[in-house]
Amino acid sequence: MAAPDYRNGDWGPAYLIQTPSSDLGVLRLGPGDAMPNHLHRHCDESFVVLEGRASLWVDAATRHDMTTETVFRCVPGEMHYLVNDSDAPFRCLFIKSPASPGDTVTVPWTPGEPAPVPPA
């Protein structure tokens, strides 16, 4: 199998399988890298940590420590922000189900800022 085609060169999400029922991919974050705060209106997004440690913020309020073998699910409408706040690489598997191309809504936010109001 060829190396994943990460969105940002050597980091970010990379889709491995895309079907009508689900999308499967890998997310790689180097130290200090972050996936923007976002939500999905129609799909769940689940994460399984393969390597490293990162923080997952849900709805700009609750921080979850993501370590190897952690499994976490975000439901439709739940904002989530993932940041590698360690000094080592982080990788996780992500599963979006059902597949919903174009379903990502970015809601600008970083920890320490007031919680944003998602668009209607």
Read off the pTM: 0.93
At residue 63, the pLDDT reads: 98
Walk along the chain (120 residues) and give the pLDDT tens digit of each residue: 678 899 999 999 999 999 999 999 999 999 999 999 999 999 999 999 999 999 999 999 999 999 999 999 999 999 999 999 999 999 999 999 999 888 999 999 999 999 999 887
At residue 100, the pLDDT reads: 87
| Domain presence at residue 4 | no
Here the tokens at position 34 are 């972050």
| Domain presence at residue 116 | no
Residue 69 backbone zone (phi > 0: left; psi -120 to 50: alpha; other: beta): left
79: containing domain:
15-102
Identify which of 104, 37, 115, 109 has the alpha carbon closest to the alpha carbon of residue 76.
Answer: 104
Q: How many domains does the chain have?
A: 1
The CATH number linked to 67 is: 2.60.120.10
pLDDT digit string, tens, across residues 86-101: 999 999 999 999 998 8
